[in-house]
Amino acid sequence: MKLSLFKSLQFRLPFLVLLGVIPTTIIAIAFANSNASKIIRQETQENLALKAEALDENVSRWTQMNILSLKNLTLQPGVRSLDPQQQKPILETVTDTYEYIYLAHTADLNGLNIARSDDKPANNYSTRLWLKEVKAGNKMFLQTLIGKTSKKPTLCLAAPINKQTTLSAVAVICSVLEELTQQIGAVKFGKTGYGFIVDEQGRILGHPDPNLTSGDELTDYSNYPPVANLLSGEEGSFPFQDESGIEWISHGNRLDNGWGVFILQQKSEAFLQEKEFQHLATLIAGVSILMVGLLTWFLASRLTKPISKITAAATNFAEGNLDQKVELSQDDEIGILADSFNTMAQQLQESIIKIESKAEEQSQEKRKLEEAIYTLLDEVSDATDGDLTVRANLDSMELSTVADLFNAIIDNLQDIAIEAKESSSLVGSSLQQNELAIRLLAEQAIDEAKETRDTLMSVEQMSQSIQAVSENASQAEKITDDTYNTIVNSTKNMDLTVASILELRSTVGETSKKMKRLGESSQKISQAVSFIEEIALRTNVLAINASVEAGRAGEYGQGFTIVAEQVGALAEQSAAATKEIANIVAAIQAETQEVNQAMESGTTQVVETTRLVENTKQGLNLVLAKSQEVNRLMGSISQSTISQADTSQNITKLMQKIATLSETTSQSSAQVAQSIVETAKVAQKLESTVGQFKVAE
Q: What is the pLDDT of residues 132-159, one digit of tens each?
A: 999 999 999 998 888 777 778 888 999 9
Q: Is the pTM of this model over 0.75?
A: no
CA triple 8-10-11, angle to 5 deg: 75
pLDDT for 110 beyond 90: yes
* pLDDT of the residue at 651: 66
pLDDT digits (tens, 9 = 90+) for 380-410: 666 666 666 666 666 666 556 766 676 677 6
- Lowest model confidence (mean pLDDT) among 237-241, 351-355, 539-543: 539-543
Give pLDDT, residue 624. Answer: 66
Residue 223 predicted with pLDDT over 70: yes
Answer for the pair 322, 349: CB distance below 8 angstroms, yes or no.
Answer: yes
Answer whether residue 266 shows pLDDT above 70: yes
289-342 pLDDT tens trace? 777 777 777 766 666 666 666 676 667 766 667 666 666 666 666 667 767 767
Given a cut of 60, whether residue 375 has pLDDT beyond it is yes
CA distance 123 to 443: 145
Rank 139-153, 224-238, 493-507 by mean pLDDT and report only the highest. Answer: 224-238
State the CATH class of domain 403-689.
Answer: mainly alpha
578 C-beta neighbours (distance < 10 Å), count:
20
Listed in order, strand segments (DSSP E) in 304-395 are none
Band of residue 171 on the pLDDT scale cut at 50, 70, 90: very high
The larger pLDDT score, comparing residue 497 to residue 250, is at 250
pLDDT given at position 601? 73
Q: Report whether 501 contacts 609 (CB < 8 A).
A: yes
Write down the domain spans for the chain: 403-689
Counts of helices then strands in the chain (DSSP H, E): 11, 10
Q: For 504-531, what is the mean pLDDT?
A: 71
Q: Read off the pLDDT band of 260 (50, 70, 90).
A: very high
Which of 525 and 237 is assigned the larger pLDDT? Answer: 237
Nearest to 159 by CA among 174, 178, 180: 174
Higher pLDDT, 241 or 617: 241
CB atoms within 10 A of CB 155: 24
Q: Above 60 in pLDDT, residue 10?
A: no
How far is residue 491's CA from residue 622's CA, in Å, rounded to a whole number?
A: 11
Residue 450 makes CB contacts below 8 A (sequence gap 6+) with none
Mean pLDDT throughout 269-293? 74
| Confidence band, pLDDT 50/70/90 cuts, at residue 443 | confident
Which class for 582: exposed (0-12), middle (13-18), buried (19 or more C-beta within 10 A)? middle
DSSP symbol at 124: B
pLDDT at 394: 61
Distances (CA, A) of 96 to 65, 100, 104, 140, 157: 15, 9, 10, 23, 17
Cβ(79)–Cβ(166) below 8 Å: no
The span from the CA of 536 to the CA of 134, in Å, is 110
- Cβ of 567: how many Cβ atoms within 10 Å? 18
CB neighbour burial string for 10-47, b if at least 16 within 10 angstroms, e if fewer = beebbeebbeebeeebeeebeeeeeebbeebbeebbeb
Report the pLDDT value the prediction gives residue 34, as an integer from 0 to 100: 73
Residue closest to 173 by CA, chosen among 125, 106, 110:
106
For residue 468, CA distances in Å to 423, 454, 475, 643 come to 64, 21, 11, 13
Q: Cα 675–676–680 angle (5° rounding)? A: 115
Is residue 226's pLDDT more than 80?
A: yes
Instruction: Please write the tens of the pLDDT for every residue from 457-477.
Output: 776 676 676 677 667 667 766
| pLDDT for res 114 | 93
* Alpha-carbon separation of residue 301 from 1, 8, 34, 235, 452 (angstroms): 20, 10, 38, 64, 101
DSSP string, 289-302: HHHHHHHHHHHHHH
Instruction: Kindly state the greatest CA–CA separation across the chain.
Output: 210
Amino acid at 454: D
Side chain identity at 213, as an amino acid letter?
A: T
Q: What is the C-alpha to C-alpha distance for residues 658 and 646, in angstroms, rounded to an integer?
A: 18
- Whether the per-residue pLDDT at 205 is higher than 80: the answer is yes
Confidence category of residue 496, pLDDT binned at 50, 70, 90: confident
Q: What pLDDT score was predicted for residue 322? A: 64
* HSE-CB for 528 with a 13 A CA cutoff: 9
For the segment 168-182, the average pLDDT, to the nearest whole number, is 87
pLDDT at 47 over 80: yes
SS3 percent helix, strand, coil of the chain, rounded to 5, is 75, 10, 15
Average pLDDT, the chain: 76
C-alpha 655/C-alpha 675 separation (Å) is: 29
Kind of pairing between the strands at 194-198 and 260-266? antiparallel
pLDDT for residue 220? 92
Q: Using one digit for the tens of pLDDT, what is the confidence trace for 572-582?
A: 777 777 777 77
Split at pLDDT 50, 70, 90, the class of 680 is: low
Mean per-residue pLDDT, 231-244:
90
383 in helix, strand or coil? helix
Q: How does strand 166-176 pair with strand 247-254?
A: unpaired
| Bridge partner residues of 170 (DSSP) | 107, 160
- 187 or 83: which leads in pLDDT: 83
Q: Three-state DSSP class for 202?
A: coil
Residue 504 predicted with pLDDT over 90 = no
Pairing of the two strands 247-254 and 236-241 = antiparallel
Closest to 341 measured CA to CA, from 317, 321, 360: 317
Nearest alpha carbon to residue 153 among 92, 213, 235: 213
- Lowest average pLDDT, out of 163-172, 353-362, 479-488, goes to 479-488
Distance (Å) of CA 677 to CA 437, 479, 570: 12, 67, 148
